C-alpha cells in the first residue's frame, strides 16, 4: 500500500505533525504546504501460540530469531545460513507442472516487455503465486512460497488487532469465482518480523502461515514463487516484474481510486543503491532494502500493491525469484523516484526459521 493517501491511514493534513504522529516522507496528498500526519498506533498484545479459531494470531518472535537493533543502518538478520532454493517448495509427485517453483502455468515465455501504473493486465495463471489480501482500507498483495506460507509486508497487518483479513490465493480476477483456480481463507497465523519499525517501514516483512496446507495439485492457478539463495544477486539494471491490484493512476480521487479487478503487471529495473540512499536518506536502509522503478517515471507499483513480490530471474533460468517485497515510496511513478522494496535475501534466515518452526 506504499504510503497510502492520508485517508487510508486515518491521517490528517497539518502544518506540522505533533506528538503521537509522524509525517509521510516525500510529496504528500495535502495542499497548502501541509503534511499528511499519521497517528502512531500501539500494536495489539503479541500472541505466540496457535489458536483453534480463524482469528489471525500476531506473532513477532521466533525461537531462532536474534534480538534486532532499531538503528536504521544496521542489518537485522544474520547472514551465515545458506538456504538452497529447492528446500522451500515441496515437489509434487503427480503433476510435473508443479515440479518447479517460479514457473507460470501457461507453458510459454513470460513477456518482460509489459508495462500496474504504465502496466497491463496479466494473463490468467501467468503469475500463479499471487495472493490478494482484502483489507478495509485497500488491498495488499503477497506471494505463495510453499504449500503453507505466503510472503508479504508487515505493514499490511500492523495494528490489525482482532480483525482477520480474508486472503485469496491464486487470485486473478476479483469478479470471478472458480474453485479449481483459487481459494480463500481466514484460517492462518501472522508472523511479523520482530524488528519491524512502522515509522520508517524498516524490516517490512511478514509471513502468513496457513492452518491447512494448499493441495497444489488441486488448483491450476496456484504455484509457489521461488525463494532466492543467499548467494544470489539481483544487480542494478536487471529487469524485474511487480504485480498487484493497486491503483493504476499516479494522481487520482482518493474517494474513488482507480482499483482494477484484474491482476496488473509491470516491468521495472533494479536501481543503484547510491541513488536510493540519496533520494530517501534516513528512510532507506541499504542493508535490508532495495529500490526499483523506471527513472522516466512512467512505470511503478503504487497504493494497494504493498506486500506483493518483486519478481526477478537469475542467470539463464526461466524461474522467477522473490527478490523483494513492495514496501514504501514517495508518490507513484514520479521521475527519478524509485520505490523501496524489502530485500528478501537479507531476511532468509528469519524466513526459514518461521517455516521450520511449524507452529
- Grid coordinates given for 223: 504455484
334 touches 151 (CB < 8 A): no
pLDDT of amino acid 38: 58
Q: How open is the CA angle 105-107-110, to the nearest 5 degrees?
A: 90
Q: If we measure between CA atoms, which residue out of 171, 180, 110, 118 comes closest to residue 140?
A: 171
326 touches 310 (CB < 8 A): yes
Q: Per-residue pLDDT averaged across 56-77, rounded?
A: 37
Gap between the Cα atoms of 338 and 332, Å rounded = 8
Q: What is the DSSP string of 224-284?
A: PPBPPPTT----TT-EEEEEES--S-SS--TTS----SB-EEEEEEEE-HHHHHHHHGGG-
Known catalytic residue at 306: yes
Mean pLDDT of the chain: 74
pLDDT of amino acid 121: 84
Q: Is 107 left (phi over 0), alpha (psi -120 to 50) or beta?
A: left
Per-residue model confidence as pLDDT tens digits over 237-274: 999 999 998 866 655 555 556 677 889 999 999 999 99
| Selected catalytic residue, list 105, 114, 146, 155 | 155
- Grid coordinates given for 59: 506473532
Cα 191 to the center of its chain, rounded Å: 14
Pairing of strands 120-121, 58-59: unpaired
Q: Is the pLDDT of residue 58 over 80?
A: no
- What are the residue ranges of CATH 2.40.10.10 in the chain? 239-343
265 touches 114 (CB < 8 A): yes
pLDDT of amino acid 313: 93
275 touches 291 (CB < 8 A): yes
CATH of domain 239-343: 2.40.10.10
Give every CB contact of residue 251 below 8 A, 6+ residues apart in sequence.
Answer: none
Give every CB contact of residue 285 below 8 A, 6+ residues apart in sequence.
Answer: 72, 73, 200, 202
Q: If we measure between CA atoms, which residue out of 182, 77, 84 comes closest to residue 129?
A: 182
Of 202-216, 289-303, 306-320, the poorest mean pLDDT is in: 289-303
Gap between the Cα atoms of 119 and 139, Å rounded = 18
332 touches 2 (CB < 8 A): yes
Q: Is the pLDDT of residue 182 over 80?
A: yes
Higher-confidence position of 34 and 172? 172
pLDDT of amino acid 5: 42
Task: Report the share of the chain in percent with pLDDT over 90.
Answer: 43
Query: What pairs with residue 142 in β-bridges?
Result: 131
Pairing of strands 309-312, 321-328: antiparallel
Known catalytic residue at 204: yes
End-to-end CA distance of the chain: 28
Q: How open is the CA angle 85-90-111, to the nearest 5 degrees?
A: 60
Query: What pairs with residue 206 in β-bridges?
Result: 152, 192
Q: What is the pTM of this model?
A: 0.70
Q: Is 349 helix (H, G, I), strand (E, B) or coil?
A: helix
Per-residue model confidence as pLDDT tens digits over 135-170: 887 789 999 999 999 999 999 998 777 789 999 999
Q: How open is the CA angle 143-149-151, to the nearest 5 degrees?
A: 40
Q: Could you tell me the strand order of the sheet in which 130-134 lies?
A: 58-59, 188-192, 206-210, 149-152, 140-144, 130-134, 166-169, 183-185
Gap between the Cα atoms of 53 and 175, Å rounded = 28
| Selected catalytic residue, list 301, 306, 328, 353 | 306
Query: CB neighbours (10 Å) of residue 318?
Result: 11
- Confidence category of residue 333, pLDDT binned at 50, 70, 90: low
Cα 308 to the center of its chain, rounded Å: 3
Per-residue model confidence as pLDDT tens digits over 272-296: 999 999 989 999 999 999 999 887 6
Q: Is the pLDDT of residue 51 over 80?
A: no
164 touches 54 (CB < 8 A): yes
Amino acid at each position: 500500500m506504499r504510503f497510502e493517501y492520508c485517508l487510508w491511514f486515518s491521517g490528517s493534513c497539518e502544518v506540522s505533525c505533533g506528538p503521537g504522529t509522524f509525517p509521510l516522507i516525500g510529496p504528500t496528498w495535502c495542499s497548502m504546504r501541509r503534511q499528511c500526519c499519521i497517528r502512531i498506533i500501539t500494536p495489539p498484545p503479541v500472541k505466540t501460540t496457535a489458536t483453534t479459531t480463524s482469528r489471525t494470531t500476531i506473532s513477532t518472535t521466533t525461537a531462532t530469531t536474534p534480538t534486532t537493533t532499531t538503528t536504521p543502518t544496521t542489518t537485522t538478520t544474520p547472514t551465515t545460513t545458506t538456504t538452497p532454493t529447492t528446500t522451500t517448495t515441496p515437489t509434487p509427485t503427480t503433476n510435473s507442472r508443479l515440479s518447479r517453483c517460479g514457473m507460470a502455468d501457461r507453458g510459454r515465455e513470460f513477456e518482460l516487455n509489459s508495462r500496474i501504473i504504465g502496466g497491463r493486465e496479466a494473463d490468467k495463471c501467468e503469475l500463479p503465486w499471487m495472493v490478494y489480501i482484502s483489507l478495509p482500507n485497500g488491498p495488499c498483495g503477497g506471494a505463495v512460497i510453499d504449500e503453507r506460507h505466503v510472503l508479504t509486508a508487515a505493514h499490511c497487518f500492523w495494528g490489525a488487532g482482532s480483525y482477520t483479513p480474508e486472503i485469496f490465493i491464486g487470485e486473478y480476477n476479483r469478479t470471478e469465482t472458480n474453485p479449481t483456480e483459487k481459494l480463500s481463507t481466514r484460517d492462518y497465523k501472522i508472523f511479523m518480523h520482530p524488528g519491524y519499525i512502522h515509522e520508517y517501514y524498516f524490516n517490512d516483512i511478514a509471513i502468513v502461515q496457513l492452518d491447512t496446507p494448499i493441495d497444489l495439485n488441486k488448483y491450476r492457478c496456484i504455484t509457489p514463487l521461488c525463494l532466492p539463495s543467499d548467494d544470489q544477486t539481483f544487480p542494478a539494471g536487471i529487469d524485474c516484474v511487480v504485480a498487484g491490484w493497486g491503483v493504476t493512476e499516479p494522481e487520482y480521487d482518493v474517494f474513488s481510486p482507480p482499483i482494477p479487478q484484474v491482476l496488473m503487471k509491470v516491468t521495472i529495473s533494479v536501481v543503484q543503491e547510491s541513488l536510493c540512499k540519496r533520494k530517501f536518506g534516513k528512510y532507506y536502509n541499504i542493508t535490508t532494502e532495495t529500490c526499483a522503478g523506471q527513472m522516466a517515471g512512467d512505470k511503478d507499483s503504487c497504493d494497494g500493491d504493498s506486500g506483493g513480490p518483486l519478481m526477478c530471474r537469475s542467470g539463464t533460468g526461466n524461474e522467477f525469484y522473490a527478490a523483494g517485497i513492495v514496501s514504501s515510496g514517495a508518490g507513484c511513478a514520479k521521475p527519478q523516484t524509485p520505490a523501496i522494496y524489502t530485500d528478501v535475501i537479507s531476511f532468509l534466515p528469519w524466513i526459514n526459521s518461521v517455516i521450520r518452526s511449524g507452529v
